Every structure is written in structure tokens, then in C-alpha cells.
Amino acid sequence: MHHAIFLCFALLIPIVFLGGCTPSASDAYHKITPAEAHEMMKKEDIILIDVREEGEYKTGHIPGARLIPLGTIDSTVTAKLPNKKKPLIVYCRSGVRSKKAAMKLVELGYSDVRDMGGILDWPYEVEK
């Protein structure tokens, strides 16, 4: 009987420790407000990503944003974003595509992805 309890306990230890080593999607994905994004942009070294289409980007985007349309976010995006640990902030027009893009980036192994939602909620400067 004691051997069975010890064996069960010994088998559980690696599972507990392994589970804590890899970041889960909930650890890598964060929903943030435009105000929080604005503060991060001023204080941290982040990459700001506009996931809209090129025509939308040209009508107005957040200064410093890189255009990477949602449809192009696949395994090839690592060529554009090689550092998977660097904080990323993604946005779109209203927030639907930014969430999809953020989830794709997390699935691709990016460990700090912030979903700001839509540029419609951005009260700060926009450039064309």
C-alpha cells in the first residue's frame, strides 16, 4: 500500500513542475487599454503592430506601428518578429482582428502579447 502511494506521488511531481515551466496562453496574452498601451510605448521597448490591411493603415495609424495584416500572421512572421520574448502590442480597427492576431502570435510561441483592441478607441496622435 505504501509503495503505491509513493509511486503515485512520484509520478505527480514531474507533471506539476513541467506545467510551471511553459507559459500558457493566459500568461502570454493580455488585454490592455489604449492608455496602458500609450504608457508602455513611452516607457518600454515594445513592438507595436497594426493588423489591419494596407489601405486602412494608410488612412491613419499609431506612430511607430508596423503593418503586419492579420492574414499574414503565420509561421513566416518570425522573420519579421524574431524575438519571441519582446513585448508586442497589437491593434486593429475595432478589436476583433487584434484578438485573433494576438492569439495566433501566442500559438506561434510569443510570450508577451498585448491586445489593445481598436484604433477607434485610441485618443492620442495618429499619423498618415
| Catalytic residue set | 92
Distances (CA, A) of 19 to 7, 23, 25: 19, 8, 12
CA pseudo-torsion sign 97, 35, 50, 89? negative
Query: Which residue type sits at 3?
Result: H
In three-state secondary structure terms, 29 is strand
CB 56 within 8 A of CB 98: no
CB atoms within 10 A of CB 12: 10
